[in-house]
Each structure stands twice: as C-alpha cells, then as structure tokens.
Amino acid sequence: MPSVRSPSDLGALSPLELRQLAQEIRATIVETVARGGGHLGASLGTVELTIALHTVFQSPRDQIVWDTGHQTYGHKLLTGRYAVFETLRQPGGISGFCKRNESEHDIWEAGHAGTSLSAALGMAVARDLTNGSGEVIAVIGDGAMTAGMALEALNNIGQSKAHLIIVLNDNGMSISRNVGALPSYLARLRSEPTYLRFREDVRWLVERVPLIGQAMTRTVQRVKDGLKQMMLPGMLFEDLGLTYLGPVDGHNIASVQEVLRQARQLPGPVLCHVVTVKGKGYGPTEEKPEASHARSGPFDPKTGRSLSRKASRPTYTQVFADALVRAAETDERIVAITAAMSDGTGLNSFAERFPHRCFDVGIAEQHAVTFAAGLAASGLRPVVAVYSTFLQRAYDQIVHDVALQKLPVVFALDRAGLVGADGATHQGLYDISYLRHIPGMSILVPRDEGELPSVLATALAYTGGPVAFRYPRGEGNGAPIPEQGALLPWGKAEVLRKRGEDAAIVAIGPMCSEAMRASELLEQVGIGSTVVDARFCKPLDAELLLDLARRCRVLVTVEEHVLPGGFGSAVEELLAEHGVLVRSALCALPDAVIDQGDRAAQLEGAGLSAEGVAATVCGLLGRRWAKAVGGATQSAI
Ligand SMILES: Cc1ncc(C[n+]2csc(CCOP(=O)(O)OP(=O)(O)O)c2C)c(N)n1
C-alpha cells in the first residue's frame, strides 16, 4: 500500500491486486484505530466502495463528498496520507473526518450527518452554471439519509434534474440499528433478489406496453405504474425523480465499479444503492456492529478487547441515565428522546426499562425537539438527551416550537465542553451562547457528577418553560452520587470558598474545581479570593453576583465554553445593567476553530487551568504570576 501515493496509482492494479489492497487497508485501519481509537466499523465497511470510487472516478476533478466523514479512513490511505495515518485523531495529527486543508481530495468537511446531498447538489449546480465538467458524487449512509437535511436535499435534487450521483451506503446501521420507515423500506429493497439487468429488462418491457386510444391511456399508464411499483426496486427514489440503481454488493469491487460506471452515463440524478456490512472483514466488529461504530481508546487488535484502564468512576452520561431512570420510576409523565444516540447519551438503559417511553427518532435533531414540544404540549415531561454539538441543528425548533410556547422540555446536553479526538465538528462549546438569549430558557450546569441528579430533578420540577443543563464527556471527579437528586434553590449560586475579597472567581461546571485550586494557589501568595459556583447560567443569581462584584477588587469568570455569548458575557451584561464597575476578565475558550487535541492541554493553552486562572487574577491585580516549575511554589511578584 505505501506504493499507492495517489488514486491515480490504482489504475495499474489488477482486480486481484485491488482485492489484496483492500485487505491491506483493513489491516492498517484496525492497527491504527487499535492504538488511538476512532470510527472503526464505518471505515471497515467502506473499503471496497472507496477503492471502486477512486478507480472509476478521478478525484479531485470528480468531486467525492463524504457524508459525516467518519467512514473515510480508506479514502485517506488512498489519497496520500498513508505515511501520516498513524497520527489519526492525535493532537496535531490528521483528522478523523475530511479536512480541506489536509488534502485536495477532501473537498467537503463534515462531522455532523446529512449534509452531503445539499453540498453535492450545490457543487453540481455550480459546475453546470459555470460550464464546468466532472462528476459530483455524494456518499451517504442509510443513517445519515434519515436526517431532515438529507430528505430536504432529495426533494430538491429530484426537482432540479442536475446530474449527480448519490451512493447510498446501506449497512442497516446508524450507530445502533437504524430506525424509521425509510430504513425499513431500504431493508425491503436489500432483501429483494433483484439484479440490475433484470431491472432494466422490466423497464424496457413496461415502456413498450402499447398505448391505445385516449381512454385506454390513463388505465394503461396506471397499470404501467403499478407494474413498475411491483417489479422495480427503488420506486420511491424513482418517483422522487432520481434513477435508482441496485442494490449491489458493496464488498464486490467489480460490481460497485459497474454500477458507478452506469451511473456516470445516465442523465440527471442517480442513486446507487450499495449494500455493505458495518465492520466488514474484522471479526470483533462484524460480530458486534453496534459496539464497533467507534472505539474510544486502544484495544487489542487480535481480540478487539479494550486496553483502556477500567473506569473507576461513572461517567457523567451514566450518572444522568441512572438518575433519569430513577426519576421516571416515580413520574409516569417522563419520556426520553434521542436522535440516533441512545448509546452515547446513555438512554439505552432507559429504553430497556421503559421501552414505550423512549423514542429514537433517527438522526433528526430538529424533529426530536419539535416532537418533544408536542409531547410537552400534551402534558408529558420530555427529556431530550443530545450532544451539545448536535443540538445546534435544532436552534429554530427550540425558539419557535418550545420557548415561545413556554413548553417545559428538558434538554440534557452531553459532551458539553472540549471533546478531545473528535475535533472541531464535535466541540460542545457553543450551547450557552445559542441558548442563553432565548426568552424563557433556563440553563443549569452541575459542577460535578454528584450534582447532576439534583440538576436533573430541579429541571424536571420546573414547569415555567424549557430547561437545559450541560455536562462534559467522560468521567467525573469521583464526587459521591446521591440516591435521589435534591431540588436546588432556583436561580441561586453557591459560595464554595471564602478566603478574602481581593478577587471573586465565579465558575460554572467542572471549571469550579480549577477555580478552587486557583484560589488555593492565590492564597499561597497572599491573595485572598472568594470562589462561587454560579450553577445557573440563566437566570443568574444577580443578588449574590452583584454583591460580590461590589466588594471584591477584581472579578474573574471561568467556563469551558467559547467567550462570545457565554457565561462570562452573561455576568458582564448583569454588571453593566446595574452599573457595577469592577476590573474583570473572562476565562473562556477563544473565538476560533478548536481542532482535535488533548483536553487538559487545550484548557491550559486557553488559560483555563488553575494556574491560568490564578495568573489572570494576578494580572488584574497588577501583579505578575511566576509559573510553577517542577512543583516549586508559585510566586506573585
Ligand atoms: C447531526 C448528527 N447527529 C448525530 C451524529 C452522530 N453520528 C455519527 S455517525 C452516526 C451514524 C451514521 O450512520 P450512517 O450514515 O448509516 O453511517 P455508518 O456509520 O453506518 O456507515 C451518527 C448518528 C452526527 N454525526 N451528526
């Protein structure tokens, strides 16, 4: 494989050599993901498809738009990134998704599902408007195809008649088993023993049924349509204005090449239905496709067994899921909604316990939110469990369908904060900004996993409108977890440490622990501070914060969120509204794209470590912070 430096090198390979190449690609993917984690199942399932695409088309002249981008490890290996592939998802290494600055063959960036069809249509229309040439090919999974955006695009594509090729990579799986009516339809197509030639024969025959006389025409047309419906697969797509080809075995390179060549010849939009197996060619992933979508850490490539240290503490996700199940045991109105993330959000356990009260709506965040609004309007207590980054999709639904009607929908925002190896597309760094200005929205942030059950209980008890709470990925800090969450005083912050009034340090979420340590460091150099856990981003505890700002010499806010529109901005707005002048600084993540990286290092780089916060306080007080070296005590000069 090292000899394949670009897709053009594939032309020289025989069918047998291409099949051998597929095995080498698989082995490299398994070996690399086994070291550092990554999207294993999806990329193993697209190896032959990727080879077929790069042999039939000439990238980048022909533009391949990968939906989501998590299935592109083979594409990366064939497009000049073999030598750097070992840096996959590592800080400073190549991305786990497509990146335009990484390769000319990555013509579209994604990470969120369902964008490829819209983008591809845009490219095809641009090509036609500018008299350009080349094919545009969107590769989309059956999971991503359930996204609202993808369906909107299909609707537009069918009408536009622009020539583009959609490769539907159908493995029957989203992260979990795919859900919904469309996947069921695809499953029926997959199970039909239909072949391209047979399909073409039927079309040929049907087109030749003669039309006799006016009256007969309509009847015959109906019969023809009925015949097609009965005998041609993919009529749904055909009726939408696309030509449907397939289904073909996505692990047979020659078959996929053939269907792609056919698609290239046809006018208008063409959909090639390619059937693949998620995790293909590697025992552990084929056996457990549900568990193989992504591996978060190292594993033994021989057995697939995880080599990560056993978690000694529960994750925030687990704590949330357990607390939700407990709450639902005593309140029958509680229902849970996930947009294809029942595993990631922990709702699996809720679904097992209350199968009729848990709804996986597919990759459809907008729908999830308005569906929840409908449930709330009818007296239920819906909890939408969703990653912070994916809720971005549903901004209008939160405003228009939930908040304006003051509906008590609870949003549990998982993966809020820096997400590590998944990088820019998955950072949960914008939720406070996109929720804070929505009228009637309340936002809570538990400072550790021990507080999460109480935050959930408080959110569920509030009926005045929507409530969101955010928590990070991974384990907490080992805080004891109460059997039952307590109701927290609404809109009240908590003073965590009182050691003087040189500085007020106001933090939210897990940043409270950095704030506490910063206060200890400051104390060592004679600076007294008060640490507050704001707990509520909205409504803020105005009384406590204004009082603190009036008494302290400086005020610093600390949050794992971007600066613009975040928690610190909320505090500044409060101070400005009340005319309180205090020297202040906001410790937050910068207004910039933040790529994959080590969370601790990224926090430190943004001044969000205890030392960084202490240094910021010192700066405001006109003193210089000397960084600790080798455990020596810090000194403020
Ligand atoms: C908007 C959005 N919601 C959720 C996700 C999380 N996610 C990543 S891949 C995936 C499943 C995609 O399934 P499919 O498109 O069929 O691809 P496969 O992994 O099966 O190849 C999901 C739900 C996402 N990337 N984007």
Name the β-bridge partners of 384: 337, 411
Q: What is the pLDDT of residue 629?
A: 47
* CATH architecture assignment, domain 316-470: 3-Layer(aba) Sandwich (3.40)
- pTM for the complete prediction? 0.94
Q: Is the pLDDT of residue 206 over 70?
A: no
Is there an atom of ligand 1 within 6 Å of 425 CB? no
Residue 220 burial class via C-beta count within 10 angstroms: exposed 0-12, middle 13-18, buried 19 and up: middle
Task: Reduce the DSSP state of residue 105 to 3 states and report it.
Answer: coil
Question: Which residue is listed with tokens 């302290």?
Answer: 552
Is there an atom of ligand 1 within 6 Å of 113 CB? yes
Task: Look up residue 628 and give its amino acid.
Answer: A
Looking at per-residue pLDDT, the higher value among 603 and 287 belongs to 603
- Which stretch of DSSP H or E encloses residue 183? helix 181-191
Instruction: Give 573-577's long-range contacts (Cβ < 8 A, gap of 24+).
Output: 574/540, 574/542, 574/545, 574/546, 575/545, 575/546, 575/549
604 Cα: distance to centroid of ligand 1 (angstroms): 31
Instruction: Place 204 in a pLDDT band, splitting at 50, 70 and 90.
Output: low
Task: Reduce the DSSP state of residue 146 to 3 states and report it.
Answer: helix
- Fold equal for 7-194+241-292 and 496-636: yes
Name the β-bridge partners of 532: 495, 506
**CATH class name, domain 496-636:** alpha beta
pLDDT digits (tens, 9 = 90+) for 303-358: 999 998 877 899 999 999 999 999 999 999 999 999 999 999 999 999 999 999 99
Looking at per-residue pLDDT, the higher value among 312 and 594 belongs to 594
| 572 is known as an active-site residue | no
Length of the chain in terms of residues written: 637
Q: Which residues of 216-357 form beta strands (DSSP E)?
A: 243-249, 269-275, 334-338
By the 8 A CB rule, do 545 and 571 touch? yes
Q: Residue 513: count other Cβ atoms within 10 Å of its Cβ.
A: 18
45 Cα: distance to centroid of ligand 1 (angstroms): 14
| 393 is known as an active-site residue | yes
CA distances 335 to 324, 351, 362, 455, 457, Å, are 9, 10, 16, 17, 14
Write down the CATH superfamily of domain 7-194+241-292.
Thiamin diphosphate (ThDP)-binding fold, Pyr/PP domains (3.40.50.970)
Q: Is the pLDDT of residue 210 over 60?
A: no
108 Cα: distance to centroid of ligand 1 (angstroms): 16
Looking at per-residue pLDDT, the higher value among 508 and 1 belongs to 508
Tokens of 440: 């009637």
Mapping DSSP onto H, E and C, the string for 271-301 reads EEEEECCCCCCCHHHHHCHHHHCCECCCECC
Among 89, 199, 295, 393, which one carries the catalytic annotation? 393
Mean pLDDT, the chain, whole residue set: 93
558 Cα: distance to centroid of ligand 1 (angstroms): 33
Q: What is the pLDDT of residue 312?
A: 84
Of 43, 118, 140, 174, the one to substitute when testing ligand 1's pocket (max ligand atoms within 8 A of C-beta) is: 174
Is there an atom of ligand 1 within 6 Å of 390 CB? yes
Angstrom distance (rounded) from CA 165 to CA 49:
14
Among 365, 449, 451, 559, which one carries the catalytic annotation? 365
Taking CA atoms only, the protein residue closest to ligand 1 atom 19 is 42
Is there an atom of ligand 1 within 6 Å of 74 CB? no
Which atom of ligand 1 is nearest the CA belonging to 276? 21
Instruction: For 439-455, give one letter per residue: b (16+ CB within 10 A) or e.
Output: eebbbbbbbbbbbbbbb
pLDDT digits (tens, 9 = 90+) for 400-435: 999 999 999 999 999 999 999 999 999 999 999 999
Is there an atom of ligand 1 within 6 Å of 110 CB? no
Tokens of 382: 């819906």
By the 8 A CB rule, do 316 and 472 touch? yes
Among 26, 81, 278, 436, which one carries the catalytic annotation? 278
Is there an atom of ligand 1 within 6 Å of 174 CB? yes
pLDDT digits (tens, 9 = 90+) for 128-184: 999 999 999 999 999 999 999 999 999 999 999 899 999 999 999 998 888 999 989
By the 8 A CB rule, do 405 and 373 touch? yes
Instruction: Place 195 in a pLDDT band, splitting at 50, 70 and 90.
Output: very low
Tokens of 387: 């990653």
Indicate the domain borders of the chain. 7-194+241-292, 196-232, 316-470, 496-636
Is there an atom of ligand 1 within 6 Å of 171 CB? yes
Instruction: Place 212 in a pLDDT band, splitting at 50, 70 and 90.
Output: low
Task: Reduce the DSSP state of residue 536 to 3 states and report it.
Answer: strand
Mean pLDDT value across residues 625-635: 60
Q: How many angstroms separate the most distant Cα atoms in the chain?
A: 100
Task: Look up residue 578 and give its amino acid.
Answer: H
Taking CA atoms only, the protein residue closest to ligand 1 atom 21 is 42
Give the pairing of strands 554-562 and 503-507.
Answer: parallel
Instruction: For 227-266, give one letter per residue: b (16+ CB within 10 A) or e.
Output: ebeebbbbbbbbebbbbbbbbbbbbebebbbbbbebbeee
**Range of lowest pLDDT (114-123, 226-235, 531-540, 588-597):** 226-235
What 8-state DSSP symbol labels residue 428? B
Torsion of CA 236, 239, 242, 247, to 10 degrees: 30
Task: Reduce the DSSP state of residue 92 to 3 states and report it.
Answer: coil
113 Cα: distance to centroid of ligand 1 (angstroms): 5
Name the β-bridge partners of 497: 531
Rounded to the nearest angstrom, the gap between the alpha carbon of residue 81 and the centroid of all alpha carbons in its chain is 24
Tokens of 512: 């409270």
Is there an atom of ligand 1 within 6 Å of 277 CB? no
pLDDT digits (tens, 9 = 90+) for 566-585: 999 999 999 999 999 999 99
Q: What is the pLDDT of residue 145?
A: 97
By the 8 A CB rule, do 37 and 298 touch? yes
Instruction: For 40-72, give one letter per residue: b (16+ CB within 10 A) or e.
Output: bbbbbbbbbbbbbbbbbbebeebbbbbbbbbbb
pLDDT digits (tens, 9 = 90+) for 530-567: 999 999 999 999 999 999 999 999 999 999 999 999 99
